[in-house]
Chains A and B, each alone.
Chain A
Amino acid sequence: MQMSGAQMVCESIIAEGVKTVFGYPGGAIMHVYDEIYKQNGFEHILNRHEQAAVHAADGYARATGEVGVAMVTSGPGFTNAVTGLATAYMDSIPMVVISGQVPLSLIGTDGFQEIDAVGISRPCTKHNFLVRTLEELPTILKEAFYIARSGRPGPVLVDIPKDITVEIGEFTYPKTVHIPSYKPTYKGNKRQIEKAVDAIKKAKKPLLYIGGGVVLSNAYELVREFAKKTQIPAVETLMARGVMGAKNPLLLGMLGMHGNYASNMAMSETDLVISLGARFDDRVTGKLSEFAKYADIIHVDIDAANIGKLVDVDYPIVGDITEVLKQILPQLDGVDPDRYEAWRNILKRYDDLHPQSYIDSDEVIKPQWAIERIGELVGDDAIITSDVGQHQMWAAQHYPFDRPRQWINSGGLGTMGFGFPAAIGAKRAFPDKIVINITGDGSILMNMQELVTAAEYEIPVINIILNNHFLGMVRQWQTFFYDKRYSETDLSFQPNFKALAEACGGIGYDVTTKAEFDAALKDAIKQNKVCFMNVQTNRFEDVLPMVPSGGALFNMMLPQTTKGEA
Chain B
Amino acid sequence: MTKNVKERRVISVIVMNESSVLSRITSLFAARGYNIESLTVAPIPNSDMSHITIATTGSSKLMEQITKQLHKLIPVYKVIEHEEMVEKEMVLAKFPIAENLADISVLSSAYNGGVVNVGMEMIIVMVADEPKRVKHFIEAAQRYNPSEIVRGGVVAIER
Contacts and interface: CB of A to CB of B under 8 A. Distances in A.
A122 B75 contact: no
Given A181-B74, A309-B65, A132 B19 contact: yes
Contacts of A119: 23
B74 A305 contact: no
A308 B61 contact: yes
A127 B65 contact: no
Contacts of B151: none
B149 interface: no
Contacts of A303: 72
Contacts of A181: 15-16, 74-78
A127 B74 CA distance: 7
A110 to B, nearest CB: 19
Interface string A149-190: 000000000000000000000000000000111100000000
- Counting chain A CB atoms within 10 Å of each CB, the highest count among B15, B61, B68 belongs to B68
Given A123-B31, A305-B65, A305-B68, A182 B24 contact: no
Contacts of A127: 74
Contacts of A180: 16, 77
A304 interface: yes
A305 B72 contact: yes
Interface in B1-43: 15-16, 19-20, 23-24, 27, 31
Interface in A107-131: 118-119, 122-123, 126-127, 130
B27 A305 contact: no
A262 B76 CA distance: 43
Nearest to A118: B20
A546 interface: no
Given A181-B15, A304-B68, A305-B65, A147 B20 contact: no
Nearest to A308: B64
Contacts of B71: 304-305
A564 to B, nearest CB: 41
Contacts, number: 37
Contacts of B69: 305
Contacts of B27: 122-123
Interface in B45-75: 61, 64-65, 68-69, 71-72, 74-75
Nearest to B30: A123
Given A122-B23, A122-B27, A123-B31, A179 B74 contact: yes
Contacts of B68: 304-305
Nearest to A181: B77
Given A132-B19, A308-B61, A147 B72 contact: no
A136 to B, nearest CB: 10
A122 B76 CA distance: 15
Contacts of A182: 74
A180 B19 CA distance: 17
Contact of A122 (B16, B19, B24): B24
Contact of A147 (B19, B61, B74, B78): B74
B71 to A, nearest CB: 7
A304 B65 CA distance: 9
B20 A130 contact: yes
Nearest to B18: A129
A304 B67 CA distance: 10
Contacts of A130: 19-20
Interface centre among B20, B61, B71, B74 (most CB of A within 10 A): B74
Interface in A207-238: none
Of A147, A304, A305, most buried by chain B (CB within 10 Å of CB) is A305
Contacts of A308: 61, 64-65
Contacts of B65: 305, 308-309
Nearest to A151: B72
Contacts of B77: 180-181
A129 to B, nearest CB: 9
A141 B19 CA distance: 17
A309 B62 CA distance: 9
Contacts of B24: 122
24 contacts: A118-B20, A119-B23, A122-B20, A122-B23, A122-B27, A123-B27, A123-B31, A127-B74, A130-B19, A130-B20, A179-B74, A181-B16, A181-B74, A181-B75, A181-B76, A181-B77, A181-B78, A305-B65, A305-B68, A305-B71, A305-B72, A308-B61, A308-B65, A309-B65
The list of the 9 closest CB pairs from A to B, nearest first, reads: A305-B68, A181-B77, A127-B74, A182-B74, A123-B31, A304-B68, A181-B16, A305-B69, A181-B75
Interface of A: 118-119, 122-123, 126-127, 130, 132, 147, 179-182, 303-305, 308-309
Interface of B: 15-16, 19-20, 23-24, 27, 31, 61, 64-65, 68-69, 71-72, 74-78
Given A123-B27, A181-B75, 16 more contacts: A118-B20, A119-B23, A122-B23, A122-B24, A122-B27, A126-B74, A130-B19, A130-B20, A147-B74, A179-B74, A180-B77, A181-B15, A181-B16, A181-B74, A181-B76, A309-B65
